[in-house]
Amino acid sequence: MKARELRSIIPTIDTFKRYGRVKRVVGLMIESQGPESSVGDICYIQSKDGKKTIMAEVTGFKDEMIILMPYTNINEISPGSLVESLGHPLMIKAGPALVGKIIDPLGEPFDDTVLPRTMTSIETEAEPPNPLTRPPIHEKLEVGVRAIDGMLTVGKGQRVGIFAGSGVGKSTLLGMIARNTNADLNVIALIGERGREVREFIERDLGPEGMKKSIVVAATSDQPALMRIKGAFTATAIAEYFRAKGLNVMLMMDSVTRVAMAQREIGLAVGEPPATKGYTPSVFAIMPKLLERTGTNENGTITAFYTVLVDGDDMNEPIADAVRGILDGHIVLDRELANKGQYPAINVLKSVSRLMPHIVDRSHYDSALTVRDSLNTYLNSEDLINIGAYKKGSSPAIDRAIQNYQPILSFLKQRTDEKSTLEETAYGLVQLADKGD
């Protein structure tokens, strides 16, 4: 670095270190007298013997005390522990070297490899793009799943929710999409997963083929609430970095419900009142701030799939309702279909892609409507058909629906190792619709 550049940098360097002392710890909350800091700043807390440093974040203030939330366990903290403020929010390293890596919410690889020093430092929290700089979505994105490409076509830069109860196949569907999509890069956030499931998802659902073009950010359920929230923001920040480079990025987050639960833990700890079904107001404030960061901008796109774990298969529970109102479409996984052995268990009648009419050609869209109508007609008459109360010829529409039902099911079913291109799916859909004419 040249002397002239050094002279210009020196006046901007903050040469002061700011310290405080721990006064009280209550549950998740650490109260410290000082140091001078702002909400979101990172602090280091020294253990009593000085051998361990615990990272924490400023989340609020109370009676001239600083309220901190830890990123790790706090067993070594004691009254009077030294607190040092870094004076800036959490920063992580981003760059092509992350591709193929599994990292934690702080951006550190789980395999303890050292990342190149030349990587770019970025903040995990950022403002969503200006609405007027978001180009309209006109281009289709192939995900390799017939039920989605055919009936719920997704555009580059669209944000879609995958809604399901536990054990219906959300992670398996994400793995299929990650392996089969033609996006340039996958960024996968596993938030609040069991430790066992992280490796299983990587090896079984994602596989070596999917891992080659993926970055996985994992925050397991045993980690503190703040760490789980940062996992979601870190994955989004990495996706934003590659979008700025002009790439078409696929962001997959499993699950946004656990992000909301982690934010509820923090909200209750800092004294927020529980509002809707125990969720604090900050939960509903953080959702749009996180979800609106994806989508299109003037450089590239982030197509996002967010899984939503619905309690008791109730699609109208508070988080599901809030997320559905923000996103550009929703895919509903039906437990009844899964019990019948239909995988992926996508209920196309309850699902919608709001951008599909604007990104597919007329024949594709009309064929999807025809197939949807035929499937709906059959399901509405299924009880009559099964008990033999329907007489053939009574309704031409029901006759067509009965004739097409099994071909439609075959079209919607797909093995996890099976890939279907967008062109093959569109052609098959048109052929299926023509059978009913």
- pLDDT tens digits, one per residue of 127-171: 898 888 899 999 999 999 999 999 999 999 999 999 988 888 888
Predicted pLDDT of residue 4: 65
What's phi and psi for 210, nearest 5 deg?
A: -70, -35
Structure tokens at 268: 């209750």
Rg of the chain on CA atoms, in Å: 25
pLDDT band for position 313 (50/70/90)?
low
Tens digit of each residue's pLDDT (9 = 90 or more) over 99-133: 999 999 999 998 888 888 888 899 998 889 888 88
Residues 215 and 333 in one domain: yes
**With 90 as the cut, is the pLDDT of residue 266 above it?**
no
Residues 209 and 329 in one domain: yes
Predicted pLDDT of residue 383: 78
**With 70 as the cut, is the pLDDT of residue 6 above it?**
no
Residues 271 and 367 in one domain: no
pLDDT band for position 200 (50/70/90)?
confident
Residues 194 and 134 in one domain: yes
pLDDT band for position 80 (50/70/90)?
confident
pLDDT band for position 7 (50/70/90)?
low
User: Is the CA virtual torsion 417, 421, 422, 423 positive or negative?
Assistant: negative
Percent of the chain with pLDDT over 70: 95
Predicted pLDDT of residue 214: 93
Q: What dihedral angle (degrees, nearest 10) is formed by the CA atoms of 73, 76, 81, 83? A: -30
- The residue range of the domain holding 293 is 92-360
CATH of the domain at 99: 3.40.50.12240
Residues 239 and 382 in one domain: no
Tens digit of each residue's pLDDT (9 = 90 or more) over 354-366: 999 999 999 999 9
Predicted pLDDT of residue 424: 92
Residues 398 and 430 in one domain: yes
Asked if residue 12 belongs to a domain, the reply is no
Domain boundary (89, 114, 147) is at 89
CATH of the domain at 52: 2.40.10.170
Asked if residue 286 belongs to a domain, the reply is yes
Asked if residue 11 belongs to a domain, the reply is no
What residues does 53 pair with on adjacent strands? 46
Tens digit of each residue's pLDDT (9 = 90 or more) over 377-408: 988 887 777 777 777 878 888 888 888 899 99
Buried b (16+ CB within 10 A) or exposed e, 205-224: bbbeebbebbbbbbbbeebb
Average pLDDT across the chain, whole number: 88
Give the residue among 314, 254, 293, 7 at the shortest CA–CA distance from 124: 293
Asked if residue 9 belongs to a domain, the reply is no
| pLDDT mean over 410-434 | 90
Predicted pLDDT of residue 72: 84
pLDDT band for position 52 (50/70/90)?
confident
Residues 306 and 200 in one domain: yes
More confident residue, 7 or 143: 143
Asked if 401 and 378 touch (Cβ cutoff 8 Å), the reply is yes
pLDDT band for position 172 (50/70/90)?
confident
Residues 60 and 118 in one domain: no
> What does the alpha-carbon distance between residue 94 and residue 123 come to, in Å, rounded to a whole number?
10
Residues 65 and 98 in one domain: no
> What does the alpha-carbon distance between residue 407 and residue 197 come to, in Å, rounded to a whole number?
35
**With 60 as the cut, is the pLDDT of residue 192 above it?**
yes
Predicted pLDDT of residue 40: 87
Give the residue among 310, 311, 312, 292 at the shortest CA–CA distance from 302: 292
| pLDDT mean over 204-215 | 86
Domain boundary (317, 337, 360) is at 360
pLDDT band for position 9 (50/70/90)?
low
Percent of the chain with pLDDT over 90: 47
3-state secondary structure of 324: helix
Predicted pLDDT of residue 274: 86
What is the value of pTM for the model shown?
A: 0.89
Q: Which segment of 6-15, 27-36, 304-313, 340-349 scores lowest on mean pLDDT? A: 6-15
**With 60 as the cut, is the pLDDT of residue 265 above it?**
yes
**With 60 as the cut, is the pLDDT of residue 437 above it?**
no
3-state secondary structure of 41: coil
Quote the number of domains for the chain.
Answer: 3
CATH of the domain at 414: 1.20.1270.330
The whole-angstrom distance between residue 174's C-alpha and the CA centroid of its chain comes to 10
Predicted pLDDT of residue 198: 86
Residues 278 and 340 in one domain: yes
**With 70 as the cut, is the pLDDT of residue 16 above it?**
no
Residues 179 and 203 in one domain: yes
| pLDDT mean over 13-41 | 83
Residues 77 and 185 in one domain: no
